Each structure stands twice: as structure tokens, then as C-alpha cells.
Amino acid sequence: MTGTEKNSLRKYYQKSIKEIESELNTSLRKGLSESEVNNRLKKIGPNQLKEGKKRTIWNMLIDQFKDVLILILLVSAVVSLLLGEATDAIVIVIIVILNAVMSVLQEFKAEKSLDALKKMTVPETVVIRDGQQKKIQSQQLVPGDIVILESGDRIPADLRLVKVTDMRIQESVLTGESEAVEKNTNAVEAKDTSLGDRTNMAYMGTSVIAGRGMGLVVATGMDTEMGQIAGMLQEQKHELTPLQKKLNQVGKNLGVIILFVIAIVILLGCLRGIDFFDMFMTGISLAVAAVPEGLPAVVTIVLALGVQQMIKKNAIIRRLPAVETLGATTVICSDKTGTLTQNQMTVQKLALANREIDVEGVGYEPFGQFRENGKFIQPSEEQSLSLLLKAAALCNNSSLRQNEDNQNWGIIGDPTEGALIVTAAKAGYQKEGLENKYPRLKELPFDSDRKRMSTIHQTTDGGTLLFVKGAPDQIIERCKNYMNNGESTQLSKSIKELILEQNKKLASAALRVLAIAYREITPSEKKQLEYDQKFDIDKTESQLIFLGLMAMIDPPRKEALQAVQTCRKAGIRPVMITGDYSLTAQAIADQLDIYHSGDRIITGTELENMSQPELEKIVLETTIFARVSPRHKQRIVKALQKNKQVVAMTGDGVNDAPALKESDIGVAMGITGTDVSKEAADMILTDDNFSSIVSAVEEGRKIYQNIRKFIRYLLSCNLGEIITIFIAILIGLPRPLLPIQILWVNLVTDGFPALALGLDPAERDLMKHPPRDPDEGIFSGKMGFNIFSQGIFIGIITLIAFYYGYSQYSLEVGETMAFGTLSFTQLWQSLNSRSERYSLAKLGIFSNRYLILAILVSGILQLAVMLIPYLQLVFKVVPLSYYQWLVIIFLSFTAVPYVEILKKLKLTYKKNHSISD
């Protein structure tokens, strides 16, 4: 298929049926011949979605070894093995493998978007070929085929409708809007029309919920709207998260430092006449000291534990790095329907000719009250209101059902009709009971020309009533009288204007308005019905008595308002991206505090005519994007990212999948979400609750804060090791620590406290600060200074312990004392690392029970290494006297008052600085 032909696929809704029939060289009466179908299949290919290149488990495993820190560890393991340090090498390799396996297990299901899309395609469909109807595999469809559609069918390809009878199609999987679209065969004249407004088209994956018709296939496979979404999913690649980028940079920096230090050490040793091999071993000791062997594993474990915490808060994380990305989120792009709203059309107001009544109640629950001017009223006691509600329930093809859990209610059928049934039920009028009392005799179905639906019912006294519902302007024009306090009164011009003004007022508030009317059927008309004679529908639906207006909307979730307010306090900007009209979107956004006066609202049509640079300039001023398509959503996400925003995108439909994957973190709805959106997302909400996103953001911030804590802890400890060895060599002392001792400290003694720091409770004001700058370095907020100052202190006291043992006793005693002092100092340092601002007294020493337990376990393990004879041989340590142990305990504890003094000085400086400002 040529590029011109592909481009024309998007314009079939603008063309007449005859034009398309001629362009595709087909016949509406006979369809294509089998020979022509085979030719087109060879040329175009089957009607199926192509798979992109999938990541296998092997690919995922290989990716784990591309991390810079992991590569440095592997190089250290190889060198250690070559130099005979087999124990060191084995321990390093075990840690690396465990880290890789954990990451792969978490990401195993990350590439299934296309599988889910395939489930939405249709196995079989009915077509006309060679003038005969036949059932075929949907994969065999080609452009030019004629497809027969019935209620309940799923659309097998993109179709231009050529014949419809009362057809309505549910397009929520593509547009995100729950309300079914009424279809026709008329060409759409508008040049740029959003997908939801192409009323003569039917798209692959959508469903016929009413009526029947016939469609001409204009696109198959990857050329369909669904196929374009699949293509976008294949094209996208996940960027590294901020933390991944920063840890990679830390690894690279450490690599440079390691090489530099090794070179300096070897050079100094050679200048002093020391054996090259000995100096190379010393260099390896420094390399082992510099690399935080436990860091990759601890990051992975802490993120995994964060995932478990989020499950308790109704959020399932599909990719580990998404946890920390949440904490950096600056913008949440949210779909309206079902995410910010209840996805339950609800009647909120009733308007009689001279009255307005508020309807209270939640969603589809058939419980509620009616108020007029603030006072409760009982509909059953008022004939006009009672008849309005009965008519709404009877002129209706939907039904209200209680779910299997006997707790929630649901609608079977059209959501708009469902809202009318629920309103009647709130007044005590159950549809089933009404239908038993007033059995239906005939239905005049809704169609786009009449814009109304009618049903005829028999009454208990033998009479016959006609109930009509539809567009207010159409119904009012057909009314002769109106119900006024239970009596039929002539509809004067002034009353008609009053009703039309009520309709305008309700519509301007983004409410969808339906008018209800009725009249008695004459005996002659009833006779025609009995004998099933033809009668004049137009005449039948005239001389009506106006009952009232029923105004409804898909209301916002109550918890969503609180969640939006929390987002704003946390410096996160919510943005609504919807396929609905701008008026409705603005009404909901205004109620949820998303839209403020002066904010911009951009429609899909405006977006279509806007260049990407133009969008990037105004995207930060815009809070509502209405009537948008999937590609528009991607453009919006990209424009925000261009403005250095970390974007979270929520969604539940197929239409959201590309934007979910494009965004920094995609958030899918677990209950109403399609499989496609869930597979494309990084996080799934099990309760479809917007407020769960806020909880997840808070958890993400806490985890990132804790990651900074243990990075500060690990690097300050490793710097202490480097300082100890480097200064010793610089001043001509022997190596104070052996490689296996350093490895033990880094992986075991440090490991448990670092892990426990990852579980530290969140600070109270965590959600009262703006998100961190995505470009902010991992050592921001003077963290680098803290690591440097505390690392030097750890190095100095370790060197003091070594020098004391070495000068007063022996090299072995000096090494053992340095090993013990370093280990226990680092355990005390874990307490120091809980906060850069608050003292231990303010935090509470026992407020993190996991850390206390980790310190005890690590302390016992360290004592075991230094006291058990067999382990003494493995780690090359010697028994110490009581006095030597006292020196170790005293020196190691000095780290606590040292850091507390630094915190106090820092706090005092800040106070004085703020006063002077």
C-alpha cells in the first residue's frame, strides 16, 4: 500500500459511500470476489497486529550486567581470582548474581502490551463475498470487504459504515468515554475531526451495543487505529529513571577515582622501592574499599520492599525503578472518566416547568433523597414528579442489578438510561415492578433523525399511555400541554421559554439533559397496535404533555478532590486529558480544583494545528486537554518532558497505552483498565482510586529519601576505608586492612544497617515540600560535604586504632584493631545517617526498630569473626586483650557525638543565616 493510500485511511469519514466504494474497487451488493481477496491478502497482509521484538529473560538478565557498579564488581572479582583471593571473588559473584535474579523476576512481565492487544481482536466475522454472506476468520479481512454487524459484535477492523439501524457503538477502549456513540452513514464535513466525533466510522476493538448495520473495511492490521497504537508501543523505549542515571554516574565517577588512586599508590610505592606486586595488591585493596559492593543489592532490595508496601496501599509496581520515579513526579496527567470521576452517570437535577429539584445519592446505588429549595420532598406524594420518574423508568431498555457481592450496584445497558432507572429507584419505583403494572406493548426505538425514543404501555384501568424521552428541543416542540401540580395545563409561549431557559442553564453547567413527556393513546391508535397495522410515528409522538427535564453527569470522585489538594500542597500539578468536550471537562476540573481561572484549555483540533514547539511553550499553562486522541496524549507528555517535568500518566483504555509507556511513570486502573493499559503501565491501582496515586507518590518520596540515607552511609564508610589505606601508604605504614576484611565490612557489616535505613519512617513534612528537581544531583543538599567530613573522621579514627596496635604490639594486632574499629564505627554511623537535619534525640533512637535489630545482628557477626578461632584464621585476625577492646569501643563511639555536633552547627548556621536575610 502506498503512502498516499495510507494517508487516505484517515480521511474516509469525510468521503461519501460511493466515493469509497469506487476507490476500494468493491461492491456493496456483492462484496469482493475470493480471488480478489487473495490478491489483496498477498499485497497487504493479514488483518492482525504485528509483534515487536520482545525482551526475553536472557535479554533482561544481560541488561542487569550493563550497570557500571556491577561491571566494576565483576572486574574486581576477576582480578581477585587471578591474584589467588578466591574467597573475595566468590562472594562478589554471588552478590552480583542475586542482584540480577531479583531484578529479572520483578521485570519478567514488562513486555506484554501487544499480547493484550491481540486479545481484543475478533476471531470470526460475517462478510459478503461473491454476493453471499459467509463467516470467516477476521485475520482474512482486507480493505474493500463488506462486514455485517449485529448488536453485541466486536468490530474486526476499521470500517466506514454504509448502513445502520439504531446503531450505537461503545468506543471507550479508544476514546476513554463511557457513553456509547450513535452512528450514522453521513459524511463528516469537518476537516479535522477527533476520533470520537467520526460518527460514520467503526474502529477495531470497539463494540456494537445496540442496533445493527453494515460496514466497508477501510483499514486492517497495523493500519487500523488499534494498529497505530500497537506501532507506537513498539517504537517507544523506556528512558532510565533519575536514580538509575545518578547511580550510573556515581559508578563512573568511582571507576575514575579507583583508577587514579591505584595509579598514585603504585607510583608512590615504586618510588619508595616497594615490590610492584605488593603495591598492586594494595591497589586492589583500595579498589575493593572504594566500590560499595552492597549498593546495587541494597537499592534493589529496598525498592522491592517498597513494592510490597505499595501493594498494601492498593498500588502494584511492575518495574522497580518506578518506585523512586514516583517521588520525583511533578505533573500527573489524568484521564477524566473513571479516574477522576465515578464512571457512573448520575441524575443530579430534575426540572419541572416551574420547579427545580436536587437529587442526592451516590452513583448507581438506588438510595437517595430529593430536595427542593433545601427541603426534603417525597416524589410519591406529588403526581407530576411521580409520573416523571415512572416515565423515565418505563421508557428505558437498561436495568439495575446488584452485584454478586450484594454490596455494589451496576447497570446492564446504556449508562444514560441507567441513570434514569436509578433516579426512579431512589423514589421507590423499581423498573421490574412498574413493568409488571404497566406492561410494554410496543417500542419506537431511538434514531438520530427523531432524537427520541418512545414506549407504549397498558395501564391498570385498561387505558394506554405513550412515554417519550429525548433531546429537550425536539420534545418541547412536540408538546401541547405540561403537567402543573398534577394537572395537564396548556403550554404557553412563556412556559415554553422558561423550560428552554432551564435546559440552557443545565446544559451550560456541563449536565446532559433529557426531556420526558407522555400522552394517552386513543382507542383507534390502540386498535392499530393490536392488529400491528402501520401508523404515523410522527403523528403518534405529537400532542404530548411535558413532564420535565432530567439532568445528569458522571460526577467526580469525592476522594479525588482531597487527592488533588494533597498534590498541590506537594507541588505536583494535576492535568486533565480527556476525550470529552471542553465544557464538561472544565466543569469537573473546576469541582476538583484542577482548573483555576486563567488556566488554558486546549482541544484536540487546536492541538492538531499546533506545532510541537508551540505546544511546549504553553503546556505548563494548560490544565485541561479536551477531545484528544492517543497521539495527542503522547505529544502532551513529550512537551511536558521537554520542559523538564517528570510526568505520571493515568489511564484505563487502549487509547492511554502509548502515553502510559511514553511517560516517566504510567499508572493504569486495575478494575476498569484494559489489559493493554495495564501491560504498558509501570504501576497499577487495584482500587482505581486517584488518592492511591498520592499514597504511592508519598511512598516514592520516602524510598528515595531512604536511598539517599544509605548511599550517604555506604559512601561515607567506604571513603573512611580509602582514607585509612591511602594515608597509611602515604606516610609509609603497612596496609592496615586486608581485602577480605574490607569485603566483609562492605557486604555484611554495612549490608544489614544499609537495608534497615531503607525502611526508615518518613519525615512528617514529606508531602509539604515540592518535588525534587529531576536534574538535582544525588549529593545535593550538602550531602557530599557530609559524606566527605564523616568519611575522613571514620578513616582517621581507624588509622589511630591501627597505629596504636601496630606500634605498641604487632602488625597483626594493628590490623585486627583497625578491622574492629572500622566495623563498629560504621554501625554507629548508621544511626548518624538517619537524618541530615534532626538529632538522634529528636528522631528517637528506637523509632526504626529494623535498624536497631540490624546493628545487633551485624555486631554479633563482627564479634563472631573476631572471637571464633576458625573465623579468625579465615579473616586473618588475632585475639585481643580487654584493654585493646576498650580502645576499639571508645574510638568507634566517638563518631556519634562528632556527627551530632556537625548537625547542631549546621542548624545554628541556618538559623543565623535566615535571620540576617
Amino acid at 712: R
Counting DSSP H helices and E strands in the chain, the numbers are 37, 28
* Cα–Cα nearest to 653, from 672, 637, 634, 626: 672
Burial code (b: 16+ CB inside 10 Å, e: under 16) for 129-158 equals beeeeeebebbbbbbbbbbbbeeebbbbbb
Q: What is the distance between the terminal CA atoms of the chain, rounded to a whole angstrom?
A: 69
| Residue 538 annotated to the active site | no
Question: How does strand 479-484 pair with strand 647-651?
Answer: unpaired
Ordered DSSP codes for 155-171: P-SEEEEEEEEEEEEE-
888 with 826: CB under 8 angstroms? no
* Cα–Cα nearest to 153, from 132, 128, 130, 122: 122
Residue 658 backbone dihedrals phi, psi, to 5 degrees: -60, -40
467 forms beta bridges with 455, 518
Residue identified by cell 491501582 is 685
C-alpha cell at 109: 512481565
Ordered DSSP codes for 656-668: GHHHHHHSSEEEE
- CB-neighbour burial class of residue 304 (10 A; exposed 0-12, middle 13-18, buried 19+): middle
626 forms beta bridges with 603
Residue identified by cell 476468520 is 137
417 with 396: CB under 8 angstroms? yes
Helix orientation angle between 690-730 and 811-832, rounded to the nearest 10 degrees: 150
Q: Note the Cα 667 to chain centre separation in Å.
A: 1
Q: Radius of gyration over alpha carbons of the chain, in Å?
A: 36
| SS3 (DSSP) at 399 | strand
848 with 762: CB under 8 angstroms? no
List own/partner pairs for 91-94 with CB under 8 A and 24 or more apart. Answer: 91/743, 91/747, 92/293, 92/743
Q: Note the Cα 548 to chain centre separation in Å.
A: 41
Element (H, E) at 76: helix 68-82
Catalytic-role residue among 67, 153, 158, 335:
335
Residue identified by cell 488556566 is 599
21 with 128: CB under 8 angstroms? no
CA 99 to each of CA 68, 87, 93, 95: distance values in angstroms, whole numbers, following the listed order:
14, 19, 10, 6
Whether the CA torsion 72, 78, 82, 87 is positive or negative: it is positive
545 forms beta bridges with 481, 518
Non-local (6+) Cβ contacts of 46 within 8 A are 139, 140, 220, 221
- Alpha-carbon dihedral angle through residues 551, 553, 557, 560, given to the nearest 10 degrees: -120
Residues in the chain, overall count: 917
Separation of alpha carbons 349 and 555, rounded Å:
12
* Cα–Cα nearest to 691, from 552, 510, 570, 511: 570
Separation of alpha carbons 869 and 873, rounded Å:
7
| Active site residues per annotation | 335
